[in-house]
């Protein structure tokens, strides 16, 4: 009786290893693509949450500028390079109305918001509002910690729409327009627009809100 041993040839083993390597590479690429897609979706979702929070807060601040008869310092807006200052009304838990100062500022790719404690006197209001107009940061005036609203931004800007005029990014011009009454009295500040730059050459994001003064 005789027996013959059988097995794989060297060529068959090499072909099997090549196929295994190709399958492993394809599996790794698919897994890497899934991980990258998940990371991109998570980033976009986080960015969208930040934009939604920012625009919701902007809408709320715009509607609380108060009526022009309480504008002690003129139009309650300062438009500066990557910063917007405003004066708004805040109602506390007891229903009392307080005046507060608010700044939106851009720093190192982040959009931040700062709100002062209640301004108690006219002297404090005029002094700190003038300081903001000269470039002093609100968080420096009150030793506050800014609240981060959005990451990954390339800058912010704003403009206002005065009744009988056009959109303007010059807050001094808006104030001059307001101080020039017409037949019906002082014009109304009807709307504000916030523009947020986004990275990677994307189109800027814009939010227009009505002040409710009409």
29 falls within a domain: no
* Total domain count, the chain: 1
What are the pLDDT digits (tens) for 114-168? 999 999 999 999 999 999 999 999 999 999 999 999 988 999 999 999 988 899 9
Beta-carbon contacts of 47 under 8 Å, excluding residues fewer than 6 positions away, are 150, 151, 152
- Confirm whether 3 is domain-assigned: no
Is 165 inside any structural domain? yes
State the average pLDDT for the chain. 86
Q: Work out the widest C-alpha separation in the chain, in whole angstroms.
A: 123
Q: Is 22 a member of any domain?
A: no
Contacts with 179 (C-beta within 8 Å, 6 or more apart), sequence order: 74, 186
Is residue 20 domain-resident?
Answer: no
pLDDT at position 5: 57
pLDDT single digits (tens) 41-60? 455 545 567 788 999 999 99
Give me the pLDDT at residue 41, please: 47
- CB atoms closer than 10 angstroms to residue 11: 8
Most confident region among 30-39, 104-113, 176-185 by mean pLDDT: 104-113
Residue 192, domain extent: 65-210
Predicted local confidence at residue 175, as pLDDT: 92
Give domain status of residue 7, yes or no: no
pLDDT at 191: 94
What's the pLDDT at 162? 92
Is residue 52, in this structure, part of any structural domain at all?
no
For residue 166, being part of any structural domain is answered with yes
Contact between residue 88 and residue 66 where contact means Cβ atoms under 8 Å apart: yes
């Amino acid at each position: 009786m005789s027996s013959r041993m059988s097995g794989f040839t060297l060529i068959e083993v090499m072909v099997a290893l090549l196929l295994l390597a190709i399958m492993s590479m394809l599996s790794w690429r698919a897994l890497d693509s899934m991980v990258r897609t998940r990371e991109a979706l998570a980033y976009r979702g986080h960015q969208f949450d930040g934009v939604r929070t920012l625009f919701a807060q902007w809408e709320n601040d715009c509607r609380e500028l108060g009526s022009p008869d309480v504008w002690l310092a003129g139009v309650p807006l300062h438009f500066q390079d990557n910063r917007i200052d405003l004066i708004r009304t805040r109602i506390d838990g007891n229903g009392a109305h307080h005046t507060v100062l608010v700044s939106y500022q851009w720093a190192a790719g982040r959009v931040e918001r700062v709100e002062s404690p209640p301004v108690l006197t006219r002297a404090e209001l005029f002094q700190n509002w003038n300081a903001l107009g000269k470039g002093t940061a609100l968080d420096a005036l009150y030793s506050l910690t800014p609240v981060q609203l959005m990451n990954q931004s390339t800058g912010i800007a704003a403009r206002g729409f005065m009744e009988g005029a056009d959109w303007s990014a010059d807050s001094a011009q808006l104030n001059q327009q307001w101080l020039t009454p017409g037949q019906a009295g002082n014009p109304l500040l009807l709307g504000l627009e916030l523009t947020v730059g986004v990275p990677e050459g994307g189109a800027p994001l814009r939010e227009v809100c009505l002040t409710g003064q009409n």
